[in-house]
Amino acid sequence: MGTIIILAVIAFILIVFISSVKIVPQAHVFVIEHLGSFKCEWETGMHFLMPFFDRVAGKVSLKEKVVDFKPQPVITKDNVTMQIDTVVFYQITDAKQYIYGVERPLAAIENLSATTLRNIIGEMELDATLTSRDVINTKITSILDQATDRWGIKVNRVELKNILPPREIQDAMEKQMKAERERREKILQAEGDKKSQVLVAEGEKESQILRAQAKKESQILEAEAEKQAMILRADAVREQKILEAEGEAQAIQLVQQAVADSIVKLNNSSPSDRVIKLKALESFSKAADGQATKIIIPSEIQGIAGLAAGLKGTLEK
């Protein structure tokens, strides 16, 4: 019997000892109370808890958490009721304030985000609400971060997950979007037609310009070719005349040279008067054979004719 009691006491002591050893995981903090009052915070590692006097009041994770709240009804400035659900990213920075600062932290954050969202949306119209998510997110994040600071909670970010306007508003928005898309389509089509016509006109204009330039260049080339041809023809005529003149000059020179040579030879041979008269008669016969209307009579023949006329007058007297 005594042995059983001793074994029971030893087992009880072992159980108490084992239960007093606590290991705090990474990124966690244990809040310890001593006889019901705050004692300390345990960080990562192994710790020993005093039996019957100390207890773990709370185990707090320092990791960033994400909580998705249910859609909240809000009313815009132009009296449109919408359903908006938010997603809050928060992190516990002070374990003691988190345990003792607020009774239900998540419920407090949810209610605070709902009231803040209503205040912000109530100052905006429907169109601004749908197009200003970044502004709304920034305002809610700033307000929640300031409000939850005394609870040991830091709100890193708040996102509007969904914004659901009433069904009739959605239908009107869809019709408006459809009309806007059709308008943009017509504008794009009109701009495309305009650009096409402009390109066609520019192409025709450039084509006409190129044709005119080609015609002009062709006429210029033809004029230059005609000019060159006329210059070449004039040069040919001029060279021909020059050659003819040179040929005539050379012929005249040769004739004159021949005449001069004959005179020189004749002078060198000392011809008699009879020979000279004979040459004169030969020249006279050659001149008579020509087509000229005037006859050149040698001076010797003229003298003979004068002598005959004198003899005739004497006989008549």
Structural domains in the chain plus CATH codes: 2-60 (no CATH), 64-165 (3.30.479.30)
Q: How far is CA 316 from CA 39, 138, 231, 293, 312, in A?
A: 198, 164, 76, 34, 6
Q: Is 151 exposed, middle or buried (0-12, 13-18, 19+ CB in 10 A)?
A: buried
The pLDDT tens digits of the residues spanning 108-140 come to 888 888 888 888 888 888 888 888 888 888 899
The pLDDT tens digits of the residues spanning 85-96 come to 889 999 999 998
The predicted structure's pLDDT at residue 302: 52
Helical axes 105-121 vs 133-147, angle rounded to 10°: 140
The pLDDT tens digits of the residues spanning 40-58 come to 998 888 888 888 888 888 8
The pLDDT tens digits of the residues spanning 150-168 come to 889 999 999 888 888 878 8
The predicted structure's pLDDT at residue 297: 52
3-state SS string over the chain? CHHHHHHHHHHHHHHHHHHHEEEECCCEEEEEEECCEEEEEECCEEEECCCCCEEEEEEEECCEEEEECCCEEEECCCCCEEEEEEEEEEEECCHHHHHHHCCCHHHHHHHHHHHHHHHHHCCCCHHHHHHCHHHHHHHHHHHHHHHCHHHCEEEEEEEEEEEECCHHHHHHHHHHHHHHHHHHHHHHHHHHHHHHHHHHHHHHHHHHHHHHHHHHHHHHHHHHHHHHHHHHHHHHHHHHHHHHHHHHHHHHHHHHHHHHHHHHHHHHCCCCHHHHHHHHHHHHHHHHCCCCCCCCCCHHHHHHHHHHHHHHHHHHC
The predicted structure's pLDDT at residue 315: 47
Q: How far apart are CA 25 and CA 111, in angstroms?
A: 31
pTM of the model: 0.52
Q: Which is more confident, 255 or 217? A: 217
The rounded mean pLDDT for the chain is 81
* pLDDT above 80: residue 264: no
